[in-house]
Structure formats: structure tokens, C-alpha cells
Copies of this chain bind each other. A is one copy, B any other.
């Protein structure tokens, strides 16, 4: 047929640009890792942000019972609305509503994990060509999602010496007329930091001055050590519109269940109907969370005993204290004391470890020699076989630090710290103060 368009008659299928531009470094490590630990020492992974892997932090029996009740009810097998059952949204709204930041069922969008909450929030606020402000060091998913959507990522600095507070001047200097969203992660992965009310107010003042909406990643909300207080950002502002992302993963210790949410805080109708409708539309692409978990959520939120939360926090605090105080006495290491979440960051005085080029080198050798695996906070590409040159694989974009996950059993944590001590002692070379260097 003469009219038919000609097409080259051979197979030539290429993966899309979007798939090539999508890379989640932490998942790539966890899923694709090929490390060679010391065969004489059992591996201790302090790298996995999954509190369930060692079995020492089970979820509460009431949480499991709520799931079984949802199954037995036979009521939660069909399709839910794409934003979640009304009753489940209401349960989340009731749980998080407070006088300073009241919300209702309509302000809640249920999602497949906090990851999808973040994806929807970024997708609704940003167009290709916009930029978003993300913390450095910070959770890598923000960049993964943004880059795949053609959104530019600008990293603002957190200050290790100020317990990982945001460098506000640096933050403000990054804002331009293409800035569509500021992401604040509090409590923080990987830092374990918890911001004071005052610092959060200062951040909000920047957002307010420049009229930038906030994506508050509060998945570790309320996971703070007893002497600290978690403040949700929404409760501290009357004018900045906030999409607060959260979920069951961390506080209820069931990350595999993929239950997350967006809380829409918009008292001045700045987001208005448009953003709400945008979120609803985006939620219709693949629909949200598993209906059994949705059916269980009201009971999970209302019937989980306080002791469960307290026990979790107590364990995390105790374990992070063990780790912090052990590492604080190791020459060459500078751990930063955490206040919440499940992590702690450790600075490496690289000058004192001349054998190692970087935190990657350092943590790699820690595996080879001591079978202890910590996630290096800068480049991690050496661990990943198929690292793409165009998209550098960076766990938290922060050099000379590594992250420790404090959810491992106490004896493992103690053992890991003593192995790290042995490792550091072996490789530590005190830096000769410059003034004493007679050769120069």
C-alpha cells in the first residue's frame, strides 16, 4: 500500500529517558548490593532504614489484630475511592488535627506509602523547569522523583555543628522565581535531628517571605526522644500552605504495608481547590493504598497502646546513646548526637585516615575488614554495579560522613561499635599540627 508510512523493520527498543533518569540510590544499594565482608565476622548491617529486619522491633499485636479484623469483616476487598475511604481519611484527620492546625477528612489523601505521598505532592506543585529546595544531607527520594520529572533540585545545607539546623541564609539564597516548593524533613533521615519551634518558625518565615509552599516530610513525626518535642510545621504558621507527608511505616513499624498520607494544611486557601483537585486527579493514576490496611487504620491509630510508642522511642534513644557515646570516644570520628528518628550521622576526620580517599572508601573497607556496613553519606557508586555516569549515585549528598541506623539489637550495636573502634584504631594517623612540621 503506497500510502503506508515506512518504518524500519528491525527491533530497536530503548528504555525511556524517564526510566533512565529515575534512580533511587538507597534502593539501588539495598537491592543491588554486592559487598564482600570479612568471612570471619558475621555481617552487621547498620545501613538499612527498615526497623523490622532484625525482629527486635515488632509492631504491636493490636496493629496486627486490626488487620485481621479488617480481613474478617469482608468489607475491605473492593476498590476504595482513589484518595482512600472516607472513614479512613477521617481517622487520620482526627488523629492529627489540633487546634493550631485543624484538619478534616477532606484534607487527607491516603497514598501507597509516604513515597507516593511525596511523589503526588511534588507532581502537583511542580512543572518541568521548576526547582525544589531539598536538604543536604537528605533523603534521596526527593531528588530521584524530581529529576525523573524534569524538575531541578537545589540542595540547601544543614549545619552539622548546629545539630543539623538549616543554613537559612544559604536556603534563602537559592530561591528564585522558578522555585515551586521547599522540602523540610523533620525529624530527619539521615540526621536524627529534631528542630526546635524557633527554628521551624525561622524556616516558615523564609517560606512566607518568598511565598513558597512547603512539603513537610514528617514521616518520623512524634518519633523524638523524651526530652525533645516534635512540632508539626503546620501548627506553627497561619499563612504558609503545607502538604505534610506521613505514614504508618516508621512509627508503627510496618514499612512494607505501604500506607502513607498527605495532610493538606491550607487555612488561607492558598492552595485552593486547584491543588486539591490536582492531587485527586494524580491519585487516580494508580489508586492508593491497600484496602485492608485502610480498613485497619482507624483501629491502628486509636487502639495502639501508648506503651508501644514509648517502648519504641525508649529503645531508639537507648541504642543511639550507646552508639553515640561509644563513637564519640574514638579518635577521628565525630558523631552528631541525634534527638529522634532512627539514625545518627558520624563525621570522619578524613585527614586522620590518610589511607582512605573518601567516606565511601572508609565504609567499604569497614565492610571488608570488620563486616560492618554503614551507608556513606556522599557518593556510593562503587557499591552499585551499573552506576550511570550521567546521574551520580549519592545517598545523602554529604561527604565525609556516614549514617548509622540505630534499630539493630543492642548487642549488635555494641559489637558494631567495638569493631568500628578497632577499625579506626588500626587506620588512624594523628595529624601533625602544621606549626610542628619542620620540613616546610
Oligomeric state, in copies:
2
Say if the beta carbon of A145 comes within 8 Å of chain B: yes
Q: Is the CB of B22 within 8 A of A79?
A: no
Q: Is the CB of A290 within 8 A of B127?
A: no
Q: Which of A244-299 contact B (CB under 8 A)?
A: 253-258, 268, 270-272, 274-275, 277-282, 284-294
A145: min CB distance to chain B, Å:
6
Chain B interface: which of A115-123, A325-333, A349-357, A428-436? A115-123
Say if the beta carbon of A8 comes within 8 Å of chain B: yes
Say if the beta carbon of A39 comes within 8 Å of chain B: no
Q: Is the CB of B53 within 8 A of A257?
A: no
Q: Is the CB of B80 within 8 A of A292?
A: no
Q: Is the CB of B16 within 8 A of A278?
A: yes
Q: In the complex, what residues of B have CB within 8 A of residue A127's CB? A: 16-18
Say if the beta carbon of A67 comes within 8 Å of chain B: yes
Q: Is the CB of B31 within 8 A of A287?
A: no
Compute how far the CA of A336 lies from the CA of B58 in the bound complex, rounded to whole angstroms. 54
Say if the beta carbon of A7 comes within 8 Å of chain B: yes
Compute how far the CA of A434 lies from the CA of B268 in the bound complex, rounded to whole angstroms. 64
Q: Is the CB of A258 within 8 A of B289?
A: yes
Compute how far the CA of A367 lies from the CA of B59 in the bound complex, rounded to whole angstroms. 48
Instruction: Give A residues with C-beta under 8 Å from B.
Output: 3-5, 7-20, 22-24, 27-28, 30-31, 50-53, 55, 58-59, 64, 67-68, 71-72, 74, 76-83, 112-113, 115-116, 119, 123-127, 141, 144-145, 148-149, 172-173, 175-177, 179, 209-211, 213, 241, 253-258, 268, 270-272, 274-275, 277-282, 284-294, 386
Q: With A211-B9, A285-B115 given, is the CB distance from A254 to B77 under 8 Å? A: yes
Q: Is the CB of A12 within 8 A of B50?
A: no
Q: In the complex, what residues of B have CB within 8 A of residue A241's CB? A: 11, 13
Compute how far the CA of A352 lies from the CA of B4 in the bound complex, rounded to whole angstroms. 39
Compute how far the CA of A7 lies from the CA of B254 in the bound complex, rounded to whole angstroms. 42
A sample of 6 inter-chain contacts (CB < 8 A) reads A8-B177, A13-B271, A30-B81, A50-B79, A51-B78, A58-B74
Q: In the complex, what residues of B have CB within 8 A of residue A81's CB? A: 30-31
Minimal Cβ-Cβ distance residue in B for A291: B256
Q: Is the CB of A278 within 8 A of B78?
A: no
Q: Is the CB of B78 within 8 A of A9?
A: no
Minimal Cβ-Cβ distance residue in B for A273: B386
Q: In the complex, what residues of B have CB within 8 A of residue A141's CB? A: 285
Minimal Cβ-Cβ distance residue in B for A63: B77
A281: min CB distance to chain B, Å:
5
Compute how far the CA of A79 lies from the CA of B248 in the bound complex, rounded to whole angstroms. 12
Q: Is the CB of B5 within 8 A of A175?
A: yes
Q: Is the CB of B211 within 8 A of A8?
A: yes
Q: Is the CB of B19 within 8 A of A255?
A: no
Minimal Cβ-Cβ distance residue in B for A173: B4
Minimal Cβ-Cβ distance residue in B for A239: B11
A293: min CB distance to chain B, Å:
6
Minimal Cβ-Cβ distance residue in B for A294: B256
Q: Is the CB of A287 within 8 A of B113?
A: yes
Q: In the complex, what residues of B have CB within 8 A of residue A18's CB? A: 123, 127, 149, 282
Q: Is the CB of B256 within 8 A of A123?
A: no
Q: In the complex, what residues of B have CB within 8 A of residue A30's CB? A: 79, 81
Q: In the complex, what residues of B have CB within 8 A of residue A256's CB? A: 76-80, 290-292, 294
A312: min CB distance to chain B, Å:
14
Q: Is the CB of B79 within 8 A of A13?
A: no
Q: Is the CB of B292 within 8 A of A257?
A: yes
Compute how far the CA of A51 lies from the CA of B55 in the bound complex, rounded to whole angstroms. 38
